[in-house]
A = this chain, B = another copy of it.
Amino acid sequence: MSDVINLANKFNLFQEPWHPKIVGKLNDSYVKLAKLKGEFVWHHHDNEDELFLVVKGTLVIKLRDRDLTIHEGEFAIIPKGVEHLPVAEEEVQVLLLEPKSTSNTGNVQNERTVEAEWI
């Protein structure tokens, strides 16, 4: 069943930052939406590249050697194995694309680790 997914409507369905929600699946990946605010945790994904498309706001992804600043209408792909730290000074709305196996905290398991649910 193919449905049309409206990003703004979906973002209105949740508030909590750093809790990605699943809004689509294709092949072996999920499309997720997340609100980000503040600083996350340094982590990497052993086996999964991860796409961050900024829908609203400005996201900084710190890498060990530099920062990526991603504005609305821009995306970046963090390759597997690359340590990164997302930082959102103000709330950011982001579309994520990543394999179904991806944990939000990657190699780290702590109180920030959450399982994404469908909305």
Contact = CB atoms under 8 A, between A and B. Distances in A.
Nearest to A80: B27
A77 interface: yes
Nearest to A49: B26
A63 B2 CA distance: 9
A91 interface: no
A62 B53 CA distance: 27
B75 A50 contact: no
Contacts of A2: 61, 63, 68, 76-79, 82
A99 interface: yes
A85 to B, nearest CB: 13
A75 to B, nearest CB: 5
Nearest 5 pairs of A and B residues by beta carbon: A26-B49, A26-B77, A6-B74, A4-B76, A7-B73
Interface of A: 2-8, 24-29, 31, 48-51, 53, 55, 61, 63, 68-71, 73-79, 82, 95, 97, 99
